[in-house]
Structure 1
Amino acid sequence: MSVVVVAFVLGLAVAFVVGSWTSGPDATTQRIAELEQEERTRDVEQVGALIELARGTRDRLTPVLTGMDKAAPVDGTTGTVPTAAELAGWREVVTAEVKRYEQTPSAGNGVNVARTSMRAAVEQLALAVGAFESAVAASDPLRGRLVGLAAEQRTTALRTWSAAALQLDVIGIDAGKGHVHVQLPSGAGTAPIDSEPEGSGTR
C-alpha cells in the first residue's frame, strides 16, 4: 500500500512540474504582454491629452510673450513699460496655466518628462511676470535690473518649453500622433521647429 501511495504522490508531483513547465511560463508571458499593452494604451491616451493641453498653453501664452517682448525685447534693446492692465492680464493667464499643470496623471517616462518640463516652463514664466510687476513698482536703476531679471526668467522659460516641445514631438510620433509642434515664440538658445508637416511621420 505504501508503494502505491508513494507512486501516486510522485505522479502528482511530476504532473505539477510538467504542468508548470507547459502552462506557467505561457500564462506569465501572456499576463506581462497584457500589462505592457495596457501601459501602451494608457500612454497613447496621455500623449493625446498632453498634446491638447500644450497646444492650448501655446495659444494662451503667445500674447503674453508678445507683450513681454515689447517690455524687454529679446534683442536687448530698451522696451516700453507695461501698463497695470497688461500686467494683470499676464498674471491671470500664467496663473491659470500653472494650475493646469498641477496634476500629474500616471504615465510613462516620456510623457512624464514632457509634462514636468512644461510645468517648469510655465512656473518660470510666472516668476518673470512677478519680476515685471516689481520692476513697474520700482524706480531706476532698480527698475532696469528687475526688467533684466524678468527677461532672463522669460528666456529660461522659453528654453525649458522648447526642450519639452521636442520631447512631445518625439513621443507624439511614437504614439501614432505624428509630428507635434507646440513651440512658443522663441528666444536665444531655443531649439528650432523641424520642417515636417504637423501630424506627419506617424508610425
Structure 2
Amino acid sequence: MAKMRQADAERDAQQIVELTEMAHRTGEELAPIIRAVRQDAEAGRVPERAQVDKWQQTMRRLIAQFADPPSGMTATNVARGGLRSAVDQAAVAVDSVALALAGPTTGRAERMQLAARQATLAVTTWSVAATQLDQVNIDAGQGHQHVHLDVGEVEGALGPDGSAEGAGG
C-alpha cells in the first residue's frame, strides 16, 4: 500500500508541474483576450471580424489542451477542472462577441456587456483554480506558484497571496 501511495504522489507531483506550466502558458494567451473583451465592452465598441476569428481560433486551441486530462489526486483534478471551466467560460465570452458583431447594431452594446460579464466570470473562476493550484504546489513541496490572470482588478476574483514564487516549498 505504501508503494502505491508513493507512486501516486510521484505521478501527481509531475502532473502538478505540467499543469502549472500549462496554466502559465494558457494565462499568457487568455489574459489579453479577456482584457480586450472587457475594454471593448466598456468603450462601447466591437472588435474587427479578423480579431474575433483569431480569438476564436485561440480559444479552440486552449480548450483542446484540456480535452483528455490525466487522472490525478483530487486536489490537482479540482485545479485542472477549474482552469478548464474558466477557459470554457472565456470561449463563451468570445463567441458572444462574435454574435454581437454579426447581429444587428441595435442591442450590440448590451450583447458586448454580456460578453464582458462572461469574461469576468471566467477570470473569477480562473482565480479560484489558480489559488487551488498554488496550494497544490505548496503541498507538493514546490512552493508558491501564481498563475492568476493579468487582467486588472476584477470584483470577486481572488488575487495571488503576495508570497514570493517558489517560497514555502
TM-score band w.r.t. shorter chain: over 0.9
Higher Cα Rg: structure 1 or 2?
1
Task: Give the equivalent residue in structure 2 for 1:36.
Answer: 5
Question: Is the counterpart of residue 193 in structure 1 residue 160 in structure 2?
Answer: yes
Task: Give the equivalent residue in structure 2 for 1:90.
Answer: 55
Distance 1:62 1:91 in 2: 14
Give 1:69's match in structure 2, choosing from 18, 27, 38: 38
Deviation at 1:113, TM superposition (A): 0.1
Number of aligned positions between the proteins: 167
Superposed CA deviations along residues 157-190 of structure 1, whole A, max 9, x for unmatched, are 1111000000000000111111011111252210
Give 2:100's match in structure 1, choosing from 117, 121, 135: 135
Distance 1:147 1:182 in 2: 27
Superposed CA deviations along residues 58-93 of structure 1, whole A, max 9, x for unmatched, are 1111221232132123xxxx3322011211121111
Aligned with 1:178: secondary structure? coil
Tell me the amino acid that sits aligned with residue 105 of structure 1. P
Tell me the amino acid that sits aligned with residue 66 of structure 1. R
Aligned with 2:44: secondary structure? coil
Aligned with 2:168: secondary structure? coil
> Any stretches of 5+ residues in structure 1 without a counterpart?
1-31
| CA RMSD across the alignment | 1.2
Percentage of matched positions with identical amino acids? 37
> Any stretches of 5+ residues in structure 2 without a counterpart?
none
TM-score when scaled to structure 1? 0.79
Tell me: higher relative CO, structure 1 or 2? Use CA pairs within 8 A at least 6 residues apart: 2
TM-score when scaled to structure 2? 0.94
